[in-house]
Amino acid sequence: MLKYLIYLTAGYLIFKVVKNGVYLALESFQKPSILDGTTELIKCDQCGGFFKETTLINHKENNFCSEICKQDYINELQ
């Protein structure tokens, strides 16, 4: 009986640790600006990824992280 109790407790602890890990990973994924307080991150209108303002590529009203995304966007419009 005691053996099952130990298994149960260990299982619960592992579950808690894993759950916290997943939660923290999601949290940092959803709020990338927290990772870098000095540079504001901009969202790419094509791939949806976040990138630093220094690598920004503007095209009309849109922001892109790279020339590839800019070209993809233009190609999709045609």
Q: Which residues bind Zn ion (CB under 5 A)?
A: 44, 46-47, 65, 69
Smallest distance from the beta carbon of 66 to Zn ion, in angstroms? Answer: 6
| CA angle, 66 then 51 then 37, to 5° | 160
Q: Which of 50, 77, 54, 55 is nearest to 66 (CA)?
A: 55
Residue among 28 and 71 whose Cβ is closer to Zn ion: 71
Q: How far does Cα 13 stand from its chain's mean position?
A: 27
Residue among 16 and 43 whose Cβ is closer to Zn ion: 43
Smallest distance from the beta carbon of 37 to Zn ion, in angstroms? Answer: 22
CA dist 1 and 33 (Å) reads 50
Smallest distance from the beta carbon of 71 to Zn ion, in angstroms? Answer: 11
Residue among 1 and 77 whose Cβ is closer to Zn ion: 77
